[in-house]
Structure 1
């Protein structure tokens, strides 16, 4: 069984604002308690100690009264998880400092006028007459009942509900459990390498290209509009506005839709070609260490490719496809045919010409083939080849 999430955007309401504001207050109060204890004793409080000290506090009672008695408990567990994550990161940083950009920072506070996540546990969530419902007092105040008609959520597989601030709206997340289907054993030698980038969002080792023009256009429009809005806000002495939040949500939704379509295309390609292993190139400090020129650098750092990777991972998992990660060092300079490595092999932006064996191939496809070989160096013939490596198949409209 794996956990999956259905996300539904909802317009902002006074009820949502109030609930998430109360959650922020409790989060800050609990964080203050844990911070002070940590500064005084060097120890991190566990959940039961936090709950025992917070349950009589006004912030705890207010959230419990409005959202249900278990909701503040769920929030305190998130506070504990945040501090446990800090503890684990700090311990790992001492052993492997090269994995981090700097020393992990101690958890801090949310802004005074900020908002935080509200969580309802499985016990608090009910499905009645085909609709998902939370505690009754909130339903009477206008909390939306979500129809399950087109959702994979049922009375037996639902887990929790989360209400999150989402730019100028709110996001309702329905977490449910899903049983993965029994997957037939595939040919273990069939491998597909993926090279992620800007001009080509995805290039595969067998010659499939998903162009990055749409993502670049979304970002360019977003950057121009954001600059105009920010200039107006600076004159007024403000840093955000509803218009800016709407623009940010527009960009998120556009890229989210694009990544879903791209990941669906890749997974479908894997199924059609009996691919059993997906190898993705990814470097440490991906965003920080690249130097692709001012325009490309801006595009690359602002395109959240980690979200595309997350989609590829969970969709591959559901189809029984293994996902591996390797570093991208020298994959763009090395010939995928003979292994000769030379920077000048990268003749033009999109063309790779090997000085040794004279191989002429799309540069990103060559990199994707090298990525696949990094994970499976002893089985080069296992790399999927749909017959279009020299002349890649381009998918522009997804």
Structure 2
């Protein structure tokens, strides 16, 4: 059997309200030090770069004299930075390993800038990248504790984090105790990240997990997914079945959030922020994260139960950045976390051996699959060509073979775009699957027992191998 390389997974646990006041105060103080060290490191890198970087003098199109630094790669050495900041009070206060992780994050951001700059010169991207900027003074930054600085007690349900030698004499507590993660062994733990967000502290457990390969998947079958708003995700499979994940409740959550924020900020500055808005945003973000996980787990469960080996996701590049649907529709469309859902489905699918294919979705809701209309790539449709379907109501089309659901039509056409490359047959997809897909409400229909079915099916497939 082929050796399965470990992949990394993350568990996120809320700390605020679940740890002692002393522990929370220390972690907030550590996040302040991390913010200061990040800015100090970035300042050192930027100043060294500008000192070596030549200036370019020129006249612009309006004949004004200009002077600016020439674009060059930023040379950065992680080892040298650690050596330079070894006696910095922020470095000492955080502790060696935590401070090194903070410096490493700055180095990685510089390296990402260099890679983007190279792609910009090679015309692979249109927007010129900018050097990483400083974090807000006095703010909080993530603190990372590597596994060597963590004592993980799986059986008693807690985790102990290292305290720097400088801070230890001034603390009343001897250990930093936080709730532990679940379903992984101590030797699998890679790091624990303390992340501030909207006035709350979170613990992110990063650990190695072996891929659980499903052995009975049929790679001649596929499911096409068409994202939307009210119909958040519409799926049609090559087995002739279809469904819709309802997005109305997600839209209402965003509408309520925007309404409360607008009412609270009336007469105040647009940049005003306080604990009420932080708690409101925290609640909205938790609801969004929960529904993304439920929807992604539903898709994976559906594929495992029906032994589908391919997921084809229709996606338009930079579709939200270029959206022009009006003020209200833009607010609904942009705020729905479809991109995050796509990423989560891809992560879960690849972890168990399901192939994830992303394709552009131009003309998928206009081309009549039943009438065998042509399906073009974006911008390649001849002006004189006319599709067979005709809209009669919002979301419904009149085809030559009757009324069909526009989103279901889009989902099957998404598969059609890649059917030849994947060797997929669409003969079982008929009019019935495009009329009335079964609708699921993510907040009421999907119980915990249902979401666990995918894990049970996966265990059975492994045991039968």
2:224/2:236 contact within 8 Å kept = yes
What's the secondary structure of 2:413's corresponding residue? helix
Partner of 1:166: 197
- Confirm or deny: 8 A CA contact 2:120 2:128 kept in the other structure: yes
Specify the alignment match of 1:9 in structure 2: 14
> Paired residue for 1:180?
211
For 1:76 and 1:152, locate their aligned partners in 2 and report how far apart those are by CA, in whole Å.
31
Structure 1 residues 384 and 80, CA gap change in structure 2 (3 angstroms): farther
TM-score, normalised via structure 2 length: 0.78
* SS, match of residue 145 in structure 1: strand
Deviation at 1:249, TM superposition (A): 0.7
Question: Does residue 393 of structure 2 align to residue 362 of structure 1?
Answer: no
Where does residue 116 of structure 1 map in the other structure?
Answer: 141
Partner of 2:94: 63
Query: C-alpha displacement at 1:229, in angstroms?
Result: 2.0
Residue 217 of structure 1 corresponds to which residue in structure 2? 252
Q: Give, in whole Å, the separation in 1 of the partners of 2:341 and 2:142.
A: 24
Give matches, 1:91-170, under 5 Å: 91-97=118-124, 99-100=125-126, 102-128=127-153, 130=156, 131-135=158-162, 137=168, 140=173, 143-148=176-181, 151-170=182-201
- Gapped regions of structure 1 (runs ≥ 5): none
Aligned CA distance change for structure 1 residues 63 and 380 (closer, same or farther; 3 Å): closer
Deviation, structure 1 residue 343: 6.6
2:7 and 2:118 map into 1 onto residues whose CA distance is 29
**Matched length:** 386
Moved more, 283-292 or 117-126: 283-292
Compare CA radii of gyration and give the structure with the larger one. 2
Shift in CA distance, 38/335, structure 1 to aligned 2, threshold 3 Å: farther
Shift of 1:275: 0.8
| Contact 1:280-1:371 within 8 A present in 2 as well | yes
Aligned residue for 1:39, secondary structure, equals helix
CA distance in 1 between partners of 2:390 and 2:139 (Å): 49
Q: CA deviation at 1:257?
A: 1.1
1:1-398 equivalences in 2 (<5 Å): 1-11=6-16, 13-41=24-52, 42=72, 43-64=74-95, 69-97=96-124, 99-100=125-126, 102-128=127-153, 130=156, 131-135=158-162, 137=168, 140=173, 143-148=176-181, 151-206=182-237, 207-231=242-266, 233-234=268-269, 239-337=272-370, 338-340=372-374, 342=386, 345=389, 347=391, 348-354=393-399, 357-358=400-401, 360-377=403-420, 379=423, 381-382=425-426, 385=429, 388-396=433-441, 397=444, 398=446
Unmatched 5+ residue regions in structure 2? 1-5, 18-23, 53-71, 376-385, 447-465
**Where is the helix percentage greater, Structure 1 or Structure 2?**
1
Query: Kindly tell me: are residues 332 and 238 of structure 1, through their superposed partners in 2, closer, same or farther at Cα, counting changes over 3 Å?
Result: closer
In the TM superposition, residue 381 of structure 1 has moved relative to its aligned partner by 2.2
CA deviations on 1:280-320 (whole Å, 9 max, x unpaired) are: 11121121122333322211111121211122112212332
